[in-house]
Amino acid sequence: MLRYLSITLIIACTTLSVHAQPSALDTDLVELDVTVVTEGLEALWGFSFLPDGDILATERPGRLRLIRNGTLLNEPIGGIPDVFARGQGGLLDVALHPDFESNQWVYLSYAKPMNDNSTTAVARGRLQDMALVDVEDIFIADSKGRGHYGSRLVFDNDGYLFVTVGDRQANPNEDQANHPAQDRGNHHGTVNRLHDDGSIPSDNPFVGQDGIEPSIWSYGHRNPQGMVHDSASGRLWINEHGPQGGDELNLVKPSLNYGWPVIGYGVNYGGKTLHDGTHQDGMEQPVHYWVPSIATSGMVLYTGGLIEAWTGNLLVGGLGGQQIARLTMDGTEVVSEETIFSGNGRVRDIRQGPDGAIYIGIDGTRDSAAIVRIAPAASK
């Protein structure tokens, strides 16, 4: 099995060097230090903390990497399924089973090759030494297209696994009412709820209904690439990309239709009108939206206590915006927004570390992706 080390050994206290990020971050409520955890990754997509504080990180070309004591190990983790590493496709999110310490299950979402196309899939395997064993696909979406894989993975308090699937760039201009994201007979534009082995829970909202995929929890989404479960309230949050404007923060509830592409707050690329309007009966409104788009990505609900002023805030990454949107929440309402960490690279993923600090995954090309840590200076 992996040799586990203390979380305190992760932190690299060197001055930040990649992407010219600041070594200090002045926000509305608190001043923070920014330090490098590791760099030299390629096209980072997701990462997750092991119980010891080591980090598993995915590289979109198809590698799962281990970061120990701030060092990116040279040898990738073995046993990764073949991925469709073109365009937006590749190896995407990574999550641990809630009982990982006893069963060692690691979950990966990825673009699965399907003849000359691909689909969103989820595989799991047991982590032993530097390889995954007993690897199996537990979910293969009925969705094909050029991109918009979705692919975020989250477990809730009861051990259910939620999986997002994007609309796969299906044309939003033609027959919107019958767009694949409005058709529950496939997985385009959906949030899906599974048992940890991929089987379908009997209380999913559409189980037993003819012509509807039984894994679907909600639908009418575009490309959800951020998701978080609030263990205190039981709420499930996602963010999703709009086109040119209209990124959304949504509170996900079972069986509901979130409207893509019939309603929305953005326009199509090039500025062409896309939606007939922003509201329609039977379709949910976002809790918050961004115009212009920040290209929403990874997201975390902060509960760590180390940055006390941020407790209960949602931190939403931005790719095109190269930023983090810090949302102050009052229950399910966004009461204020602050833009932080702007102009320092594409924020692909955000996680809360076991030490209570915030860890940011910065996307990049060849050897230019990194993970950095933000925390009050006194915490070092």
Q: Please give the positions annotated as active site.
A: 148
CB 312 within 8 A of CB 10: no
Residue type, 212: I
Q: E strand or H helix at 326, and its extent?
A: strand 323-330
Residue 349 pairs in a beta bridge with 361
Backbone phi and psi for residue 270, each to the nearest 5 degrees, phi listed first:
95, -5
Question: Distance between CA atoms of 239 and 16, rounded to whole angstroms?
Answer: 29
What's the first-to-final CA gap in the chain, in angstroms? 30
Q: In the chain, what is the greatest distance between 2 CA atoms, to the nearest angstrom?
A: 58
Question: Distance between CA atoms of 220 and 324, rounded to whole angstroms?
Answer: 25
Token pair for residue 345? 């690279």
Question: Distance between CA atoms of 259 and 268, rounded to whole angstroms?
Answer: 15
Residue 167 Cα to chain centre, angstroms: 16
Question: Distance between CA atoms of 266 and 282, rounded to whole angstroms?
Answer: 20
Residue 245 pairs in a beta bridge with none
CB 37 within 8 A of CB 373: yes
Q: Residue 173: exposed, middle, or buried by beta-carbon count in 10 A (0-12, 13-18, 19+)?
A: exposed
CB atoms within 10 A of CB 25: 18
For residues 27, 30, 33, 34, the Cα torsion angle rounded to the nearest 10 degrees is -40
Which among 194, 136, 133 is positioned nearest to 161, based on CA atoms?
Answer: 194
Nearest-5° Cα angle at 18, 12 to 19: 145
CB atoms within 10 A of CB 77: 23
